[in-house]
Amino acid sequence: MSKNLSNTGEEKHPATTPTPQNAAVKGDFAKTVLMPGDPLRAQLVAERYLENAKLVNNVRYAQGYTGTYKGKPVSVMSSGMGMPSMGIHAYELFSFYDVDHIIRIGTAGAINAGLKVRSVVAAIGASTNSEFANAQFGLRGHFSAVASYRMLKTADACAQELGVPLTVGSLYTTDHFYDASGASIAWGKLGCLAVEMEAYGLYVTAQQLGKEALAICTISDHVLTGESLDAETRQNTFTDMMEIALETAIRL
- Count CA atoms within 13 Å of residue 46 on its CB side: 28
- Minimal CA–CA distance to 193: which of 211, 172, 176, 212? 172
146: Cβ–Cβ under 8 A, 6 or more apart, which residues? 124, 125, 126, 203, 207
Buried b (16+ CB within 10 A) or exposed e, 92-114: bbbebbebbbbbbbbbbbbbbee
Catalytic residue (one of 156, 175, 179, 221): 221
38 belongs to the catalytic site: no
Measured CA distances, 51 to 61, 67, 118, 235 (Å): 22, 5, 27, 20
Q: Is-contact 29 75, C-beta < 8 A?
A: yes
Alpha-carbon gap, residue 141 to 207, rounded angstroms: 16
Per the DSSP assignment, residues forming a β-bridge with 102 are 33, 213
- DSSP, residue by residue, 198-218: SHHHHHHHHHHHT-EEEEEEE
Alpha-carbon gap, residue 235 to 144, rounded angstroms: 30
**Residues labelled as active-site residues:** 221
